[in-house]
């Protein structure tokens, strides 16, 4: 596939979703990280020109650059959801298969954003060393026991959709007695996409089991949306809360605005309110605040609401702004180089096994 045919501008918040907040094909955008105080709080963007990054989902395989994950997202989640979302916003009754489509769309939207990419990479950097140490320790013990019994270990069939980019190197000692085993994983775009595909193919069953509803805002309240629009809310005694809820964690509230007046909602383990229930003004304002607090870099609104900057002050930081700009500017080149090297190393190891 030629570069021109690839889906290069990857919208991590779909355009058809953002159009619910657009006025005259423009969407009011409040940016949360800016380089100086002179930047206006609000700027109007075309829906096509916001909430995308180049090559967020394209990646390198041993056959070259591919956009198959972007195509898969559209085929399995976005395109099926478009008519269902239109139907839901018209207050038409949804059949079970349409609810499943809408919930799968929400699940994909929860996972595909830059905010979730950053969160996933940070978590893996913290947990992978310990996981690898434990897996290698068990593997070495299995190898040693098999060697003592004169048995050959058989590679198990792979039933999981999780296929991370891992390189395993076995270095035998020169005297033939023992050796070392080393495992390395590429914690970048290729791993993130493998992780997303696994969650959306397998783990998604957890979020499909919940009872969902669509709630309505009361008169005088409109909900904004953001570049990270799915909220997974945990609440605790004393009014404390965080956004670290899980898809299957009892009590977690999961919600996403579908329009300025519609909210898709569930609370894990609880029966929801009836569809099209108009919520109280107090509850609607609470949800509105949570949506704003949860935003990563952008808040989108049908109007240039002056109360939003008072709820969530933007960060004015030239260095951080420039660092982030350069990170995304170099994203594709750096990730592509790492992915190419990964496949070159794989091929070298295959050739080494053949020659030995």
Per-residue HEC secondary structure of 301-328 comes to ECCCCCHHHHHCCCEECHHHHHHHHHHH
Q: What is the C-alpha to C-alpha distance for residues 299 and 289, in angstroms, rounded to an integer?
A: 12
Q: Is 159's pLDDT higher than 50? A: no
Task: Identify the pLDDT of residue 158.
Answer: 47
Greater model confidence, 318 or 139 = 318
In the prediction, which pLDDT does 98 show? Answer: 98
The DSSP code for 261 is T
Residue 257 has pLDDT above 60, yes or no: yes
**When comparing pLDDT for 348 and 11, which is higher?**
11
Q: Is residue 226 scored above 70 in pLDDT?
A: yes
Distance CA(226)–CA(116), nearest Å, equals 13
State phi, psi for 66 to the nearest 5 degrees.
Answer: -135, 150
pLDDT of residue 125: 76
Q: How confident is the model at residue 153 (pLDDT cuts 50, 70, 90)?
A: low
pLDDT at 1: 47
Q: What are phi and psi of 262, to 5 degrees?
A: -125, 140
Q: Is the pLDDT of residue 90 over 80?
A: yes
Task: For 183-211, write each residue's pLDDT tens digit.
Answer: 666 778 999 999 999 999 999 999 999 99
Whether 229 has a pLDDT exceeding 60, the answer reads yes
Q: What is the mean pLDDT of residues 135-143?
A: 62
- Report the chain's mean pLDDT, rounded to a whole number: 88
Predicted confidence (pLDDT) per residue in 26-73, tens digit: 999 999 999 999 999 999 999 999 999 999 999 998 889 999 999 999
Q: What is the pLDDT of residue 63?
A: 87
Let me know if 133 is exposed, middle or buried by CB neighbors in 10 A (0-12, 13-18, 19+): exposed
d(CA 46, CA 314): 22
What was the pLDDT predicted at 5? 81
Helix (H, G, I), strand (E, B) or coil at 279: coil
3-class DSSP state of 99: helix
Read off the pLDDT band of 171 (50, 70, 90). Answer: low
- The number of C-alpha atoms within 13 Å of 216 and in the hemisphere containing its C-beta is 12
pLDDT the model gives residue 55: 97
| pLDDT for position 123 | 83
Mean pLDDT of all residues in 311-335: 97
Give CA–CA dist 50/300, Å, rounded.
Answer: 10
Residue 272 scores a pLDDT above 80:
yes
Contacts of 235 (CB under 8 A, 6+ apart): 241, 251, 253
Q: What value does the mean pLDDT take over residues 141-164? A: 60
131 has a pLDDT exceeding 60: no
Residues 63, 11 contacting (CB under 8 angstroms): no
First CA to last CA distance, the chain? 36
Band (132; pLDDT cuts 50, 70, 90): low
pLDDT digits (tens, 9 = 90+) for 92-127: 999 999 999 999 999 999 999 999 999 988 887 776
pLDDT band at 342 (very low <50, low <70, confident <90, very high): confident
When pLDDT is averaged across residues 247-254 and rounded to a whole number, the result is: 96
**Across 217-241, average pLDDT:** 97
């Amino acid at each position: 596939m030629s570069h021109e045919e690839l889906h290069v501008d990857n919208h991590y918040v779909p355009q058809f979703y953002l159009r619910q907040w657009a006025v005259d094909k423009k969407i009011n955008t409040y940016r949360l990280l800016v380089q100086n105080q002179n930047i206006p709080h609000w700027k109007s963007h075309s829906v096509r020109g916001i909430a995308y990054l180049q090559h967020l989902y394209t990646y390198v395989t041993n056959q070259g650059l591919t956009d198959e994950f972007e195509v898969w997202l559209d085929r399995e989640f976005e395109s099926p959801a478009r008519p269902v979302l239109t139907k839901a916003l018209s207050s038409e009754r949804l059949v079970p298969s349409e609810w499943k489509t809408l919930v799968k769309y929400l699940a994909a939207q929860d996972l595909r954003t830059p905010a979730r990419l950053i969160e996933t990479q940070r978590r893996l950097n913290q947990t992978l060393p310990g996981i690898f140490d434990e897996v290698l320790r068990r593997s070495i013990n299995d190898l040693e026991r098999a060697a003592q019994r004169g048995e050959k270990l058989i590679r198990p069939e792979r039933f999981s959709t999780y296929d991370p980019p891992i390189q395993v190197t076995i270095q035998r000692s020169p005297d033939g007695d023992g050796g070392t085993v080393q495992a390395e994983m590429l914690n970048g775009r290729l791993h993130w996409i493998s992780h997303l595909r696994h969650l959306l193919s397998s783990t998604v069953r957890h979020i499909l089991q919940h009872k969902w509803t669509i709630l309505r805002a009361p008169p005088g309240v409109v909900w904004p949306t953001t570049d990270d629009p799915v909220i997974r809310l945990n609440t605790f005694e004393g009014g404390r809360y965080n956004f670290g809820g899980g898809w299957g964690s009892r009590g977690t509230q999961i919600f996403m605005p579908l329009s300025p007046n519609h909210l898709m909602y569930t609370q894990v383990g609880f029966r929801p309110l009836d569809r099209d229930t108009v919520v109280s003004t107090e509850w609607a304002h609470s949800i509105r605040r949570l949506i704003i607090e949860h935003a990563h870099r952008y808040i989108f609104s049908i109007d240039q609401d002056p109360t939003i900057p008072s709820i969530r002050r933007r960060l004015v930081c030239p260095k951080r702004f420039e660092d982030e700009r350069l990170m995304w500017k170099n994203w594709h080149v750096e990730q592509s180089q790492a992915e190419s090297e990964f496949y070159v190393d794989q091929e070298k190891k295959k050739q080494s096994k053949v020659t030995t």
